[in-house]
Amino acid sequence: MTETQKDRPWLIRTYAGHSTAEKSNELYRNNLAKGQTGLSVAFDLPTQTGYDSDHILARGEVGKVGVPVCHLGDMRMLFRDIPLEQMNTSMTINATAPWLLALYIAVAEEQGADVSNLQGTVQNDLIKEYLSRGTYICPPKPSLKMIGDVAEYCYKNVPKWNPMNVCSYHLQEAGATPEQELAFALATAIAVLDELKPRIPDEDFATVCGRISFFVNAGIRFVTEMCKMRAFVDLWDEILAERYGIDDPKMRRFRYGVQVNSLGLTEQQPENNVYRILIEMLAVTLSKKARARAVQLPAWNEALGLPRPWDQQWSMRMQQILAYETDLLEFGDLFDGNPAVDAKVEALKEGARAELANIDSMGGAIGAIEYMKARLVDSNAERLNKIEREETIVVGVNKWQHGEPSPLMGEDGGIMTVDPAVEEDQKARLDAWRSEREAEAVKSALTALRKAAQAGENVVPASIDCAKAGVTTGEWAGEMRAVHGEFRGPTGVSRAASNKTEGLEDLRAAVDAVSDKLGKRMRFLVGKPGLDGHSNGAEQIAFRARDCGMEIDYEGIRLTPEQIVTAAQQGAHVVGLSILSGSHIPLVEDLMNKMRDAGLGNIPVIVGGIIPDEDAARLTAMGVARVYTPKDFELNTIMKDIVTLVDPKSVAAE
């Protein structure tokens, strides 16, 4: 391939957004100046789950894992001085995707853009939210209908926009095997296309299929991951040709963006993560046939907390060096005809087809949500077991733990922290917005939105009218909740012990002994306060505690401190809290005060999450008995701690 034929690089993105729209706008403009070629917006958890920044559940979560966008003013500020008609913008948003797209379109119109030229993606994949990430609002069927609304609206009005990004990324983060990641993602895409088929004229259906994109994960087993991407290409082509009769090979092309694995990033020796990220990027760039259209990489320190701008720049430079300094883009596919690759691709396809047939027999992805969730929890348990048994080596974690302290950490602890004052500032701006808007216009727009939802009409046009009238995120989502109701997804953790109790005999005996002293079965309440829906850690703790013989109470995500205290009053002997969003200080403080007020101050509380040492000391000072972070990967050690905390003899000795 000559220099003139060299392939164009993929879109180079950085997943970014924090604190406020103003600070995030500054970050985006700086990243664009450094050579980033597409925007990737991270929204905070209240925005993702349809709450305004002043809602009780938003406490401690505002601006932590992304940018808060409560209304048109926030969206306007987020993209100030960034011409949207020239951008390719990815928005990681799901339950509130129709709303955030409406705000984006409204801002583009204010800028004078031709909306039909807008390019980008809304993730808009609710099915994986029930399985792994937890930012759903409504039940599956109306959620699927809203995914269809966005796709139908975009096909007619914003034809260059990808209206849905089938997201297998979070499936792998929840422990999916490659075969499960392939099958569960493709089953989701099938569910969406089946929803769209009756809405779209036959002659246009191929075009709509061609706009469905994917957002994929690449783990450290990079040969397998590269083969997985080739399997995705083949299976998607096969499904579109055979199930939907799409003749045009261009419309059957598997188009995907990627963020490489965050699950495998380690808190121990975090500088090792740079190599992991680079190797994982190769899985989605080396094979031309299955090369990503857009790549965003985590930063080396994401297992510690929020990356600083320099950390994100370092990851972006990794992409630029591969794309512009190496000769990778000068060659055709490096793996065509390789017998080892072909055999692995075929094996992955065979496994995925079997799983797809299984899901199809349950009525498709919507009918199989509980099954898929349970499979993911089981696969993740097996992944952790292998690390604990050293069948899987993780450098610096279960092997070669001794190392030199990292000079990268610096005085700031190697991460950026969000100023707690951000939340109050955001709430003040929200109050001002509400007081300055035209109340009647808001009321009228919300009434029209509710009527559209009740009548089964497409909600996007009414959502755009709401955006222009000054409606807030919480008000928009409130109408969806009012019409469709709320949903609590399956936890994937049953009360019956699994078949993974081998090697737990001593722990089971200790739980039995403590239960005998207590006069009842030892009871462990696992709670997730706040809006953080990343439940993998909580699920695995509950899974192991159950297999050790404890009675577990685990109702899933998004609980208020009041709900956790009420549950604790039902006879809990120990309370475990899991918070990965960085909101641990305000949420735990609130819960500890409420526990004492309810006369439950004697029940030990343990906390797990991405928690810096300084914060761990603050939690201990509040009365928290133990603090666990990602470095505490040996679940049996945590189980021993829990038994000791509950043992009446140990308590008496203290």
Cα 252 from Cα 262, distance rounded (Å): 29
Paired tokens of 392: 């899987």
Residues in the chain: 654
Give the max Cα distance, the chain: 79
Q: What dihedral angle (degrees, nearest 10) is formed by the CA atoms of 45, 220, 398, 302?
A: -30
| Host H or E run for residue 570 | none
- Which residue in 130, 153, 169, 256 is the catalytic one? 169
| Active-site annotation holds for 628 | no
The helix/strand/coil state of 42 is strand
Note every long-range contact of 510-519, with CB atoms under 8 Å and residues 24 or more positions apart, other chains counting.
510/640, 510/643, 511/548, 511/549, 511/550, 511/643, 512/549, 514/643, 514/646, 514/647, 514/648, 515/549, 517/647, 517/648, 517/649, 518/573, 518/646, 518/648
Sheet holding 294-296, edge to edge: 161-162, 119-122, 88-92, 38-42, 11-16, 294-296, 256-259, 212-216, 164-167
Cα 313 from Cα 529, distance rounded (Å): 33
Cα 203 from Cα 63, distance rounded (Å): 44
Those residues whose C-beta lies under 8 Å from the C-beta of residue 386, and which sit 6 or more positions away, are 392
The helix/strand/coil state of 280 is helix
Q: Which of 271, 262, 239 is nearest to 252 (CA)?
A: 239
Q: Which residues pair with 627 in a beta bridge?
A: 607
| Active-site annotation holds for 532 | yes
Those residues whose C-beta lies under 8 Å from the C-beta of residue 96, and which sit 6 or more positions away, are 47, 48, 49, 50, 137, 473, 476, 477
Look up tokens 């983060």; give the residue: 173
Find out whether 255 and 312 touch, Cβ atoms under 8 Å: no
Cα 80 from Cα 26, distance rounded (Å): 9
| Active-site annotation holds for 170 | yes
- Which residue in 23, 344, 373, 534 is the catalytic one? 534
| Active-site annotation holds for 534 | yes
User: Within 369-504, where are the H helices?
Assistant: 369-388, 421-436, 439-454, 460-469, 473-484
Sheet holding 523-527, edge to edge: 551-554, 523-527, 574-579, 605-609, 626-628
Cα 91 from Cα 41, distance rounded (Å): 5
| Active-site annotation holds for 584 | no
Find out whether 70 and 433 touch, Cβ atoms under 8 Å: yes
Q: Which of 506, 518, 605 is nearest to 549 (CA)?
A: 506
User: DSSP assignment, residue 364?
Assistant: S
- CA of 516: how far to CAs of 522, 544, 552, 602, 646, in Å? 9, 20, 17, 19, 12
- Which residue in 170, 228, 373, 484 is the catalytic one? 170
Q: Which of 168, 160, 165, 239 is nearest to 207 (CA)?
A: 160
| Active-site annotation holds for 194 | no
Residue 117, burial from CB neighbour count under 10 angstroms (0-12, 13-18, 19+): middle
- Which residue in 532, 547, 553, 647 is the catalytic one? 532
What is the b/e burial string over 612-641, where b = at least 16 CB atoms within 10 angstroms of the residue's CB?
beebbebbeeeebbbbbbbeebebeebbeb
* Cα distance from N-terminal residue to C-terminal residue, the chain: 74
What amino acid positions are annotated as catalytic residues?
15, 169-170, 528, 532, 534
